[in-house]
Homo-oligomer: A and B are copies of this chain.
Amino acid sequence: MTYAEFSKLIQVSKKDICRETFAENRKTIRIKKEKTVVKNLEKIFGAVLKISNQKGFQAMTMRDLSQESGLSMGALYAYFSGKDELVEMLQHQRRSISGRIINETVNAQKTPWGKLKAAIYTHLYLSEAMQPWFYFSFMEAKNLNKEERKKAVLSEQNSEKMFTEIIKEGQAEGVFSDCHGELAAGQIKALLQDWYLKHSKYTKRNVTVEQYAKLTLEFVEAFLMNGAKASSTSLTPS
């Protein structure tokens, strides 16, 4: 599947995200007219991600946000009670969307190799569609309050666990080489993360997400489908 096809199939436009956010935050958002809220949430999220990803969320002042979003300070506080709640909305939204989409696409596959391919492609395409969100999550996670940090760690563990299970399933069926499952999963995640962490580097070099996905798949394939040699990776001390 190409990225263009993925984008049409999956609803991850800015508007979609904001509509969903509104639905889940009817209580705390003081404005009630959906059209107004969605329009302004788009401005707000866009501005937060832009400023934060440039100079950090802590360094972003409410005045910065007001200027960039075109809303006054007073208006902003009608949408969230403070920076803490704002960041919580952002984080929750990203997790909710990506969790849903990844589960859907991976569960549609039946073979381990099919699942692994789907997981890699979906991760990459999703992080392309929501690059500023993924970047924000990674860079700001540690700066948030205890509750949010906990959720971030849990979400990260779940994601890695999914890869581990696919690999172990493939090993049980004899299609993947006998390497250390958890570690291999970690390596794969590291490669996927590089796409959204160094996004501007890849854009400057005219590398598309399809090319990066293909490369990553080949990299992983060379390791996982290459029986004999890789087995030495088990973690028994030598």
Contact = CB atoms under 8 A, between A and B. Distances in A.
Count copies of this chain in the complex.
2
A190 interface: yes
A86 to B, nearest CB: 16
Given A190-B193, A207-B183, A229-B222, A142 B214 contact: no
Interface in A224-238: 226, 229-230, 232-233, 235
Contact of A58 (B58, B142, B180, B207): B58
Interface in A150-199: 180, 182-183, 186-187, 189-191, 193-194, 198
Interface stretch (A32-40, A48-56, A68-76): A48-56
Given A55-B143, A56-B58, A58-B56, A215 B191 contact: no
A97 interface: no
Contacts of A182: 205
Interface string A57-70: 01100000000000
Given A186-B194, A190-B191, A222 B230 contact: yes
Contacts of A191: 187, 190-191
A16 interface: no
A201 B232 CA distance: 22
Contact of A187 (B139, B201, B219): B219
A211 interface: yes
A230 B235 CA distance: 27
26 contacts: A54-B142, A56-B58, A139-B139, A139-B142, A180-B215, A182-B205, A183-B207, A183-B212, A183-B215, A186-B201, A187-B216, A187-B219, A190-B190, A190-B191, A191-B191, A193-B194, A214-B233, A215-B233, A218-B229, A218-B232, A218-B233, A219-B219, A221-B229, A222-B226, A222-B229, A223-B223
Interface of A: 53-56, 58-59, 139, 142-143, 180, 182-183, 186-187, 189-191, 193-194, 198, 201, 205, 207, 211-212, 214-216, 218-219, 221-223, 226, 229-230, 232-233, 235
